Amino acid sequence: MRVTVRRSEIDGGIAAPSSKSMTHRAVICSALAQGRSRVETPLSADDTEATLRVVQALGVGVERLKGSWIIEGGKLSPPTEDLDCGESGTTLRLMTAVCALAEGPSVLKGGPSLSGRPVEPLLDALRQLGVDCESRGGNPPVKVHGKGGFEGGEVSIRGDISSQFVSALLLVAPFSRERLRVKVTTRLESAPYVGMTLDAMRAFGVQAETSEGYREFTVKRQAYTPTTFAVEGDWSSGAYTLAAGALAGKVSVESLHRGSRQADAAIVEVLGEMGAEPKFRGQGIRVECAELRGIDWDLTDSPDLFPVVAALCSAAKGESRLRGLKRLRLKESDRIASMVEGLSRMGVKTESSGETITIHGGAPAGAVIDPHDDHRIAMAFGVLGLAARGETTVKDAECVSKSYPDFWEDLEALGARIGRKNDG
């Protein structure tokens, strides 16, 4: 499907979709708890459905109700077929560790972009714990020979490729046969996501000791307790509609909690620094169109914000410099290359070097954009199209279903002028 976005003036309010990251974690903790848990307001999107599908294949019971999922957790069974993780890197990495708890072999695989996502550092850590596992050259598919648990002791893992490696170890740490100490050998990037993992574990009754700076974690043998877990709104997805307000009108987004652990809540600081002055109101936040100015910003801990912040910078006055981007070449697409390509098509000058990109803001013009099947690239150019001259056409626009299935409908509800055309 192609979506065409025309320069628009928007005004209105919407509720942010539920957090993708917390839905993954709530489903996994529920699956590991002996008994019945309820996950309220979960996000139903391609990635979270992948995690739900994989836990079901491991013998976990799932009942879908309106606005909630009932999950019957407990002892995991080896799957009878390969586990399809779709294009979800979170599903692949977190569930690779979980599969060590099933007694028998598990094979985790996924789609084309997932086959390029690194997983070897996690497998190396699991091997340190006595888990027999292997991959194809450090990438999926992954095979785990589970033995119902693993040894404890001490394990070292790097934190500069993906914080999901650390989260994966923490989620299964309570099942180690003795106290487990996880030592992070590099700077832990995207550290707030590990904080979200610890929050989810705590909600299900599991405690972890942490050192300052998240360089070391200690988890003793203990059990997850079934509970009711309400998933908060998603700052990653909400950032796009907030950016739409800053570029093209007035937008209020509900269900975004002030003080959230989510890394992408940093969009509030970004918008403020650019001159948009977001305002919290109750359980929501409001942003109005403003003359934006360029910024110098480090996105090391919130790399998923890069596409939308780059879109904002391209419409801002002056030069912007975005840093801390090295892991973005290993996402659903090479996000640096994808954004540079799209911005160039819209007449925006950029320079990229290593993990830094410089954007010369101005007056972007509409163009035909290939998001390379990356949901965040598609949404970023959809938002930028609201402020660009002429028409902006996003190809394969249905890829937003990975995290925000209702994105285009929500933009329309705010007053965006959008047209759709099915390919073929």
**Which residues are catalytically annotated?**
304
CB under 8 Å to 346, separation ≥6 — which residues? 314, 364, 365, 366, 367, 369, 381, 384, 388, 392
Cβ pair 171, 29 in contact under 8 A: yes
- Report the chain's C-alpha Rg in angstroms: 21
CA atoms of 149 and 101, how far apart (whole Å): 5
Quick check: helix, strand or coil at residue 270? helix
Cβ pair 399, 408 in contact under 8 A: no
Question: How far, in Å, are 139, 146, 174 from residue 33 at the CA level?
Answer: 29, 18, 11
Hey, which bits of 225-341 come out as E strands?
Answer: 228-230, 249-254, 279-281, 284-288, 296-298, 319-323
Cβ pair 116, 333 in contact under 8 A: no
Strand partners, 209: 218
CA atoms of 102 and 83, how far apart (whole Å): 13
> Residue type at 156?
S
Q: Which two tokens stand for residue 413?
A: 């509800």
Closest CA to 245 of 216, 215, 210, 274: 274
CA atoms of 89 and 261, how far apart (whole Å): 20
> Residue type at 285?
I
Question: How far, in Å, are 73, 244, 345 from residue 27 at the CA level?
Answer: 9, 31, 40
Q: Which two tokens stand for residue 394?
A: 């996003």
